[in-house]
Structure 1
């Protein structure tokens, strides 16, 4: 059976998924990997000796407490570990693994830079900097705050979308209804694409120590505070 590693973004989607959604994801992805085999609900149900409706009910969430025998049979058919269907597996750090492999093994990192961040926690804090830009080419920071509580990627994307929406509302040059909708993706779509890009292109969104950034920021502010003090003294 062919196999492939899941991506970090797929892991995060699976984290938010229900049991049925996870089963459907694995069934469809394993089917793509093994095109010569039949992974429709009808074909799998015949091999397991159950009705197609019983599998469909699980995938749709209509069957709230599917039998262990059915779920276990599906994992054997899809050649996946039972662990990857459980909520507990998706808590804590992001864990990429291989689809089409009944043994739960970490996905190979090989040469792909897209998965270098797979050891990051799936919950994290986030922060923002707000500043003013003036027509004379100067600027100043007004607000700088990090969250006290951690959030997951879904909450982060929602917050990012709201911020993008606010900025874009003040960035349109003409009437709101005159702007071509096709040229302006929704804030939520924009936020999702940015988040995906941060995972798929880590070199463009580099990770670095917080202390290094804080030092640079404080040095920057200190430099201009001293300049302001000198100007006040000269005045």
Structure 2
């Protein structure tokens, strides 16, 4: 039965996307369930009697006013409600899970949105809603030495939007430093293709979709590592002074 229920991580990713990105995200899931060749833009376009370029434009966000008939057709092809493509759907907290796919590959079914268990009050816990942001700024010298210049931990919890915004600003500052260091004597145009916000959003998506690349550890262990580094640095500094 190739039906998949969107989990908390997938719902968070969808909430941060545009309509076109959500369509592509769900299309790729359908491809995983039923075979990628059955859910290419070309295959779907044939079923919906539109051009592949039309679907590509919607997914990329180039089509600002896509036809409702096309959007409805996509929803039917994925067996989801049209609402799951909209921003409004993800404004409710917790976000209501939904399913994609069909019990039978050739069967179309209607998802009953009213049959959720009313007694199920379990919250959808998202680590991003219960976290603060910490920042360390370090100097790394050409002779192999490193020191911590400053550190800061926010007093208040941050949400995913604030996390992405902060990553964007930090990324932008680093890009400016990298770009200006190429020619310290002249102002020059940047040839960077990726804007900081897109890079920040991609990093946020990676946190959710590739947790193995960003493993969680105990805070006390992290604090011990910083203490050990500072103790080593003080000892190293005294040795230098003696020499």
TM-score when normalising by structure 1: 0.56
Matched, 1:196 2:197: no
Paired with 1:119 and 1:136, the residues of 2 have a C-alpha distance of 46
- Please give the per-residue CA displacement for 1:30-89, whole angstroms capped at 9, x wherever unaligned: 9x9699xxxx9xxxxxxxxxxxxxxx7xx9xxxxxxxxxxxxxxxxxx777x9x958553
- Residue of 162, 170, 177 corresponding to 1:170: 177
Consecutive unaligned residues of structure 2, counting only runs of 5 or more, are: 40-47, 49-67, 72-78, 102-110, 118-123
Paired with 1:204 and 1:2, the residues of 2 have a C-alpha distance of 28
What residue number does 2:194 align with? 185
Paired with 2:140 and 2:211, the residues of 1 have a C-alpha distance of 29
What residue number does 1:131 align with? 138
SS at match of 2:178: coil
TM-score when normalising by structure 2: 0.55
What residue number does 1:90 align with? 94
SS at match of 1:208: coil
Paired with 1:12 and 1:147, the residues of 2 have a C-alpha distance of 22
What residue number does 1:143 align with? 150
What residue number does 2:165 align with? 158
CA positional deviation for 1:130: 0.2
CA contact (8 A) 1:161 1:191 kept: yes
Matched residue count: 180
Consecutive unaligned residues of structure 1, counting only runs of 5 or more, are: 41-55, 60-77, 106-117
What residue number does 2:107 align with? none
CA contact (8 A) 2:15 2:90 kept: no
Paired with 2:206 and 2:177, the residues of 1 have a C-alpha distance of 25
Q: Aligned in 2, Cα 1:9/1:120: closer, same or farther, shift over 3 Å?
A: closer
